[in-house]
Structure 1
Amino acid sequence: MTKICPNCKTENIDSADFCQNCGAELPKFTYNVPPSGETPGTKKGGWWGKQTTPVKILSVVGVCCVGLIVLLFMVGLLFPDATTFNLDTGDTPALTQTFSEAGLTFNYPSDWSTSSVKYIDSSTSNVQSLGTFSSVNGLLLDVNKQDMTGTVESAKEGTKANLKTIPSAQILSETTKTVNGLTIYEMIVTYTDTSSNREAKSLYVITGKDGQVAYYLQFIDDPGDFNSDQELMNSIVNTIKIQ
């Protein structure tokens, strides 16, 4: 605490009665002198110190929001898949129906027609038909089952060998992937349908359990429609499960 001389404004010690500079009599009360460069009543901390509590809260919230936006933008640049949400299903129909037969389950569009005709073909090692599905655009799906003691890969190789015996058949590609813990073998094949003498393009899908059963899904399509229908085929395949 100090006393300010009313005559020359000199700061004096609290116990002084007369100004040490000009000798004027000092007042009996004292002043709390603010630090250099600060006048009485001035808040500390520059602009921030002058702000009220609500303003400070709004400022902090605003900075946090801007920081979050910048963070999401950076994540989007570095990891585009992490911030991409597929809200538009495009032209791919929703797979709202479920097929479940003989241990095999998959989903397919509700507007597909189905045939539940089942038969045993003794000429092809007890292959059982589980049904045929068809879309309004002409895409067909034929589903078969075969009990066996070999591996699913051997079933795939057997199908491949049979295709090679067909003069018009041409295997365009072979892939292997994992769906719901299952190994899925796929082959894309073109051939001439002998019954209609028309070109066709197929996606052969083979999966199952080694030493127990193999399932064969054959998508049959017009070559001109195959590429546009392939996303739907893949969507159906990705729902395959075996009990």
Structure 2
Amino acid sequence: MKRYIFLVLAILAVVVFASGCTTSTNQTYNESGVSFDYPMGWTKLSASQMSTEVEGAAPMVAAVADEDSISNNTYQTLVAVQKTNSTGTLDEGVSASKSALLGAGAVVVSESNLTVDGSTAREFTYTMKIGSVDKKESIIIFEKNNYIYAITLSAKASDFDGQKENFDMIVKSFKVT
């Protein structure tokens, strides 16, 4: 009889966890025509907190950052989304972005293709020094509804790989609304 009670309790625990009755580990950003999930403990940045280091870059429409990554009053781990009118091909947009970053001192370390919100996307990962900080970033660029979107995933070079799960959550859940 005791074994059956233990078995029933074990099955009940599995059902509760599998049904999603657990604490959520993410929150949802849904503004400026985009939505995505991002980790608990991260914060949504206001327009005044968003800036772009690269001259001529498209305006940012969304940004979230890891609250635990602040160093010298700057978020070191963040995700920013830029949106601009589509005036050329996706490849032209990727080429222009890479040229601007290479001109700012970036070194491209990898390139790949993926799908974001049902659209073909190009990703390139690069390293660069921003101020005194060695950064590693990925930019994912795709076209949707006559706009070009660029999602920048950024962290200290030493922390970037450790943020993979968080970055993947954002990219996989990203939707143009």
TM-score normalized by structure 2?
A: 0.71
Aligned: 1:149 with 2:149:
no
Residue of 82, 92, 103 corresponding to 2:33? 103
Instruction: For residue 59 of structure 2, give the secondary structure of its aligned residue in structure 1.
Output: strand
Residue of 161, 176, 188 corresponding to 2:113? 176
Q: Distance in 2 between matches of 1:179 and 1:126?
A: 21
Higher RCO, Cα 8 Å, sep 6+: 2
How much does 1:220 deviate?
1.4
Contact between 2:34 and 2:176, CA under 8 Å: does it hold in 1?
A: yes
Q: What's the % identity of the aligned pairs?
A: 24
Q: For residue 186 of structure 1, what is the amino acid of its counterpart?
A: E
Structure possessing the higher radius of gyration over alpha carbons? 1
Q: For residue 208 of structure 1, what is the amino acid of its counterpart?
A: E
The 5 A counterparts of 1:1-243 are 96-117=26-47, 127-138=58-69, 139-167=77-105, 169-193=106-130, 196-209=131-144, 212-243=146-177
**What is the CA deviation profile of residues 124-159 of structure 1, one whole-angstrom value per residue up to 9, with x for unaligned ones?**
668222133111332111221112322233211111
109-118 vs 229-238, greater mean Cα deviation: 109-118
Indicate how the Cα distance of structure 1 residues 145 and 95 shifts in structure 2: closer, same or farther if over 3 A, else same: farther
Structure 2 runs not aligned, ≥5 long: 1-16, 70-76
Instruction: For residue 67 of structure 2, give the secondary structure of its aligned residue in structure 1.
Output: coil
Q: For residue 104 of structure 1, what is the amino acid of its counterpart?
A: V
The count of corresponding residues between Structure 1 and Structure 2 is 148
Contact between 1:201 and 1:226, CA under 8 Å: does it hold in 2?
A: yes
Q: Distance in 2 between matches of 1:163 and 1:135?
A: 23
Q: Distance in 2 between matches of 1:110 and 1:160?
A: 31
Contact between 2:113 and 2:123, CA under 8 Å: does it hold in 1?
A: yes
Q: For residue 144 of structure 2, what is the amino acid of its counterpart?
A: K
Q: For residue 137 of structure 2, what is the amino acid of its counterpart?
A: S
How much does 1:238 deviate?
0.7
Indicate how the Cα distance of structure 1 residues 131 and 103 shifts in structure 2: closer, same or farther if over 3 A, else same: closer
Contact between 2:39 and 2:166, CA under 8 Å: does it hold in 1?
A: no
Q: Distance in 2 between matches of 1:145 and 1:185?
A: 15
Structure 1 runs not aligned, ≥5 long: 1-86
Alpha-carbon RMSD across the aligned residues, in angstroms, is 2.9
More strand by share: 2
Q: Distance in 2 between matches of 1:192 and 1:120?
A: 17
How much does 1:160 deviate?
0.9
Contact between 1:201 and 1:221, CA under 8 Å: does it hold in 2?
A: yes
